[in-house]
Amino acid sequence: MVRFGKGRSGSRVVGSFVAVAALVMALAGTAQAEPPACTGEPAAIQTLNITVGGVPTYGYYALPSTTPKGIVVLGHGYPTTAHSMVPLMPDIAERDDAIVVAMDYHGTVDLEGPAGNTSRKSTLIKILAGVYHADPGGEILLAADSIAAAQLFTSTCQGLNPTRFVNTAFGVSMGGNMSGLAVSEHATRAGGSPLFDYWFDVAGVTNVPEIYTDATAISLLPLGGIQTTGANAKADIEAEMGSPILNLTTYLNRSPALRSSQMKASGLKGVVVSHGVLDGEVTSDQSDQMVTALALAGIPTDYTTSIFKAPESPPGLTLDGDVLGLIPGYVSPFAGHVNEIVIGAALDRLDALYQEGKAPSGLKLTLEDGSLGTFPLL
């Protein structure tokens, strides 16, 4: 993903989500012998092969050219793969001097092969719950791949920067769910300190019963490709978790909005949430619920919301576009699902965290809008 300056304010929007050079390097990347290096060429995407719960799995990573300030673990959405995160990785590694990792959640069926962007079947629930049955008793280790990768790089590289090695889980869409589970799992570094310091939730799923209900509704409506996605998501959820009527406790346990106390107990220092008001795939009330829960738990939170997109940018899925988009030529004016201004706001705050040490403090609500501009609401 390419980001570029906009005016003297230094605010940025996200440009093309296809960084061709990075994708080519990802295809050419070879498995890294363990332990991995801590510095390198940020544009050289490498493959990470590890074993989690006795099951081989893989992901991608990018290294900073200088001493790392910490790790950023990216969580991809549904129905994509870790490869969809590759365009983000070189920029974060270079700008923020961070090791950037994106795991492909083992058990995923990659429909287009390792270099593809589409997966199905157990992917959704692996994102929701890990689906890593690590022992004969069937214990589920939530978000195990991302936790294992973060622990590997932390144990290898934290000694290079022992005074301030900041680890962040950065989840997008359904990856917001996975990363929310990861930061609530009481994962630790060697020595027992918390593994994750901060969580970035970008248009993330935080209420699993609600997303199941939404997927069910979408699957019944004649909305073209969106209807297919809804039907697939509903089927995948039911295949792994059963009916929510019979297994409601499982659905609730996989909902980050109900895990804020576990996040607090896991040592989470702060959260950044970014969501478009009229998101048509993951409705923004899920972030409202998450922010409320975080505030009640006493976790500092920076919540950025967006209404309108930038004039020339694609909207992403929007509530109005889900229906009116069937009309030829209709383009929603609103900032939809993971619209560039939504993810751009999160990336700006990631920069501020790693470059300037600016972390969430208290509860902050900001409108960052493609047409209305940026100003604080709270």
Q: What is the pLDDT of residue 33?
A: 42
Rounded Cα distance, 29 and 27, in Å:
6
- Model confidence, pTM: 0.86
| pLDDT of residue 369 exceeding 80 | yes
> Which residue, among 226, 224, 165, 176, has the nearest Cα to 200 in the 3D structure?
176
Cβ proximity of 103 and 54 under 8 Å: no
Q: What is the pLDDT of residue 213?
A: 95
Q: What is the pLDDT of residue 114?
A: 55
pLDDT tens-digit map of 249-260: 999 999 999 999
pLDDT tier, 108 (very low <50, low <70, confident <90, very high otherwise): low
Q: What is the pLDDT of residue 204?
A: 97
pLDDT tens-digit map of 278-304: 999 999 999 999 999 999 999 999 999
> Which residue, among 101, 87, 94, has the nearest Cα to 167 in the 3D structure?
101
pLDDT tens-digit map of 324-335: 887 889 999 999
Strand residue runs (E) in the chain? 3-6, 11-14, 46-52, 55-62, 70-75, 99-103, 109-110, 119-120, 166-172, 198-202, 270-276, 301-306, 363-369, 373-376
In percent, the amount of the chain with pLDDT more than 70 equals 81
* Range in 26-40, 57-71, 107-121, 209-223 with the lowest mean pLDDT: 107-121
Average pLDDT in the chain:
84
* Range in 115-124, 132-141, 189-198 with the lowest mean pLDDT: 132-141
User: What does the pLDDT average to over 59-81?
Assistant: 95
pLDDT tens-digit map of 258-284: 999 999 999 999 999 999 999 999 999
pLDDT tier, 233 (very low <50, low <70, confident <90, very high otherwise): confident
Q: What is the pLDDT of residue 139?
A: 29
Q: What is the pLDDT of residue 179?
A: 96
